[in-house]
Chains A and B, each alone.
Chain A
Amino acid sequence: MGLKSAGRALNRSRCDADSCRGLPGAMRGRRVAAAAWIVVALVAVAVAAASQQGQQPRAARSPEKIQATVDRNQVALGSQIFLTIRIDGSPDAPPRLPELPDFRVVSRGQRRDMQWINGRSSNSTSYNYLLIPTRAGAFEIGPATAVINGTEVGSLPFTVQVTGAEEQGGERDRDLFVTASASTERPWQGQQVIYTWRFHSRVPVGQGSIESMDFGNDVVVEDLGEVRQFSTAIDGVQYSVNEVRKALFPQRSGALTLPQTRMRVEVQVEQPRRPNRRRSLFDDFDSLFGGGGRWTTKYLLTEPLTLDVRPLPPAPDGWNGLVGEFDIRASLSRRELQVGQSATLEVQVAGAGNVQLLAEPGFPELPAFKIYPDQPDSSIDRSGRRLTGRKVFRRALVPLVAGSLDIPPIDLVYFDPERGEYAAHSTNRIDLDVAPAEDEEELMLTESVAPTTGKVAVRILADDILPIRRAAAGMVSAVPRGWRLWAWTACGVLPPLMYFALLAHHRRERRYAADATLRRRQRALREALSAAREPGSGAGPASAAEASRIVRRYIGDKLGIEGAALTPSEAETALVRAGVEGGLADRCRELLEQLEAARYGLTAAEGGSGLAAEMGTEGLTRLIETIDRQIRGRVA
C-alpha cells in the first residue's frame, strides 16, 4: 500500500512537472527541486514501508518447523480442546507431547498436506489430539517436540484457561453435561452407597457410551437396573436425562475417592449458514433425514467424588458382616403332627444392604427333632432404587418324642447405618403339639422272587477276569516274518505275473494258428542265420548248393512261399514285390545264378574269389540281414 501511494504521488508530481512547461526558468528550477525532494521523501517512505512489511517474510524464511495450536484457549470443565501439531516436512516419528497431567489426551489421527507453489512442493503433517481438562485452572501447554531429518525441534508453549462449570454460568447454560452423586458422603464400611450418574442433554445426540466407570478394588459394585431415561427441568430448562445407578459397598474405612466417569457422545452441530442465503426447501429435508449439521464427538467428565468411610464399631457375637436394614422371620408348615412325621421350618432373612453376605442364621439346638437340612433359596433384586434381597433357609423337622415342643427364637445381628450401631432381630417362638405315632408297620424284607415261577433270581456275587492263555500261539507273531513273509509275497505277486505270461503265450499260439506262414516269417531270419553260421566246405559244388538252399529257403520263409523251387528270376521278382531295392534283388539273383552254376561246376574256371566270399558265412549273413532289414522296413 505504501508503494502504491508513493507511485501515485510520483505520477502526480510528474503530471505537475509536465503541466509546468513554459513557466519562467527560476520558478521552474524551484519547482523541480521541490519535486525532487518530494520524490526522495516518497522513496524514503516507500522503503520504510517495505522494510516494515519485510519483517514477516524474514520470519517466514526461517519458519518454525513445528507449530502447536488449539481451537480455543479458554474452555469450561466438561468440554474439550482440539490440539493440532503441524510439522513441516516429513517427521521421523510422531511428535512427543508435553506433560499434560491435568488433561486426558485422546488421539484423533493425523493428516498429510501437500502444496505446490511456484513450481516447488512442500508438505506438512498435522497430528490432532483431543484434550479433556480434568480440573479448573490455568495450564501451560509446554512445547511439543519432534525430530525432523535428525534435528529436534519444538513448538512454542502457550497457556489454556479452564473454568469451572459454575463460572460458565451454571449448568443451565450448557447443552450437555454429566453429573455424579453419592447417596451419602460419610458411609459406614460395608454400607450401601447409591452412586447416581446422569447425562443431561437438550440437543440431539447420537451414539453415546460410558468409557470408564471404574471404582477400584476397594469398592464392591452392583448394578441397579438398566439405564433410566426421563425428562427434567432445571431452572426452567427442559433436559433429557439418562440415569445409571450403582450400589457401592466400601470395603475399607478412610477417604475413598470415586474417580471421574468419562462419557463419549456424538453430538450434532449446526452448520453456520451464510447470512445472505435464503432458507432452501431442501433444508427441511436435511433436518428430516438428520442432515442438517455435522456430527462431532464430545467427551464429558464427571467430578471425582470423595467418600469418608467410617469404620464399624467392634462387632458383637453372631454378626456375620451384614450392614443395612434386615429382618428375619420364621414359620412352620404344620403345628400339629405325630412322632415320625415331618414339618418344614422356614426361616427367611431379607433386607436392603450387602445382601451378598446373607448367611444362615444360627439355628438353635433341637434335640427333640431329627433335622434334615434343605438347599436354601436366595434372590437379589436389582431393579429398585437400592439393592435388596432375601434368602430362605429350610429344615425338615421330624419330632422324636410326643408332647408340647417349641422352636426357640432365631437371632439375626446386623449393623444399622442409620442408627450407627448394631441391631438384632429375632423370630417368634414357635409352639407345636406332637402326638404319639400310630402302630408302626413291620417291614417284610425278603429276597426278590420271580413273580410267576417262584424261582429266586440269580445274583452275581462277584466278578473277575478270565484266565490267561497258555497256547503256543502266544509265542510267535501273528504277522508273517522271515521266509513266511517272502512266501506270502510270492503268493500275492506270482499268480498275476504267471497269468499274464500265460496270456501272452496263449495269444501267440492263437496267432500262429490263424496264420500258417506267421511262424515261418518270424523264424526265417533266425534259422537262415543259424544255417549260414554252420561251417561250410569251401567253394565246391556242395557248399554252393547249401548256400543256394539257405538263400532260397530264407526268401521262401520270409515271403510265405515255397522257397526250394524258386528260380533266381522268381526270387528277384518276389523280393522286388516285397519291397527290396532293385539293386539288392538283382545281386541276389546273380548270386543265386552263380551258385547254381557253381553247383554244377560251370563256373569253376571263372570261380573267382568273389563268389567264394559271398558263399561264406559273412557274405550270406550280410546279404540275408540286408534283405531282412529292407523287408521289415517296408512292413513297418
Chain B
Amino acid sequence: MRRLVLLVVVGIAAALPGFSQDGELPVVTETRGAGEAPPAAEPAELWVNGNAAYEAGDFERAVVLYRGMQDMGVDNGHLHYNLGSAYLRAGELGRAIASYRRSLRLLPRDEDALANLTFARRSARDEIAPPEPPALLRTLLFWHYSLAPAEVLRGVVLVGAAFWGVLAVRLYRRTSEVLRWSAACLLVVGLALGGSLVAHAAFAPAVAVVLPQEIDLHAAAGEGSVVRFRLHAGTEIRIIEQRPEWIRIELPDGQRGWSKREYLEIVE
C-alpha cells in the first residue's frame, strides 16, 4: 500500500514541472554580442528582432515579426502586448485594441496592458462603452476574472490531484476530521475553478473591434440593405451572430446592425 501511495506522489511530481513555464525558458536578451550564436529557437529570434524593430521605430516590421511568431503557434499575453503597441504606433487603432484585449485575456492582472488599452481607447471616436461584465459580477466571480484560462486549467489539475490524494489518504484514516474538511474545501475550489474553465472555453462573450476608419452597419446582411448607423475604428462591440461573410453586432443601447466580417476583428 505504501508503495502505491508513493507511486501517486511520484507521478504527480513528475507531471508538475510544466507548471512554471518561465523558469525553464531560455533567456534571450539584446545585449548579446555580434559574435555570439543566435538563439536556437526561431520564435526567440523573431521576438528579439521584433523588439529591436520596435525600438528602432520600424513598427510595421515589428508587426510582421510578431505576427510571424503567431503563425508559428506562439500565443501568450506578452506577445499580444507588444503586438498591440506596434499596431498602435503604426496607426492601426482597431488592431491595437484587439491585441491589448487578447493580452489582458491571457494576463488579466497585467496593469501595463490595461493602461495601454485605456490609452488606445481614448483615441476611438465613437463614445461607446466597451462591453465589460458588470462590476458586481466581477466581484462575485473574482477568480474567474482575475485568472487566465491557463492558470485556471493548472489550478483545476492541481486541486483535483490534491482532492483525490486526500480521498486516498482518508481511506486509511476514516476518522480524520482534517482530511474530511480538506476534501470538502478542495471539492468546492475545484468546482469553482472547473466552472470558470468551462466558462472560459464555452461561454466567453464574443467581442469585435472595428478596423477601418468608418464602417456602415446595415439593417440586414447585404450590401444593398439600409445603413442603420456607422462606427469608427477602435470601437469595441458585442457580437450576437456570425455568418461566413457577415457579423451581427449589438451596441450597449440595444441597436443592432450587420457588418462585413473583414471590417471587424474578433477578439474572444
Contact = CB atoms under 8 A, between A and B. Distances in A.
Contacts of A488: 15, 18, 153-154, 157
B15 A487 contact: yes
B221 to A, nearest CB: 33
B157 to A, nearest CB: 5
Given A473-B21, A475-B41, A492-B160, A481 B73 contact: yes
Contacts of A492: 156-157, 160-161
B119 A463 contact: yes
A278 interface: no
A50 interface: no
B214 interface: no
Given A469-B82, A476-B25, A498 B75 contact: no
B181 interface: no
Nearest to B100: A465
B18 A472 contact: no
B150 interface: yes
4 cross-chain pairs, A with B, having the tightest CB-CB distances, nearest first: A474-B78, A495-B164, A484-B18, A491-B15
B120 A479 contact: no
8 contacts: A468-B81, A476-B76, A479-B149, A491-B157, A492-B160, A494-B15, A495-B12, A506-B171
B78 A465 contact: no
Nearest to A492: B157
A478 interface: yes
B119 A475 contact: no
B104 interface: no
Interface in B1-15: 1, 4, 7-8, 11-12, 14-15
Interface string B22-50: 10011111100000000001011001000
Interface of B: 1, 4, 7-8, 11-12, 14-18, 21-22, 25-30, 41, 43-44, 47, 51, 54-55, 69, 73-79, 81-82, 85-86, 88, 106, 112, 115-116, 119-120, 148-150, 153-154, 156-158, 160-161, 163-165, 167-168, 171-172
Contacts of A506: 171-172
SS of B interface (majority): helix
B164 A499 contact: yes
A491 to B, nearest CB: 4
A152 B148 CA distance: 81
Contacts of B7: 498
A503 interface: yes
Interface in A561-589: none
Looking at A472, A473, A475, the one whose CB has the most chain B CB atoms below 10 A away is A475
A473 B153 contact: no
A477 interface: yes
Contact of B27 (A464, A469, A472): A472
Contact of B75 (A479, A490, A491, A496): A479
A478 B161 contact: no
Count chain B CB atoms within 10 A of each CB in A478, A480, A502 and give the residue with the most: A478
B76 A491 contact: no
A445 B148 CA distance: 51
Contacts of B44: 472, 475
Contacts of A494: 8, 11-12, 15
A477 B25 contact: no
B28 to A, nearest CB: 6
A471 interface: yes
A1 interface: no
A491 B41 CA distance: 28
A499 B168 CA distance: 6
Given A478-B21, A481-B73, A492-B156, A498 B43 contact: no
A531 to B, nearest CB: 30
Nearest to A485: B18
Interface string A446-471: 00000000000000000111111111
Contacts of B55: 468
Nearest to B106: A478
B171 A502 contact: yes
A495 B165 contact: yes
Interface in A20-44: none
A469 B4 CA distance: 46
Given A469-B81, A498-B164, A499-B168, A475 B47 contact: yes
Nearest to A486: B15
Interface centre among B18, B73, B75, B120, by most chain A C-beta atoms within 10 angstroms, is: B18
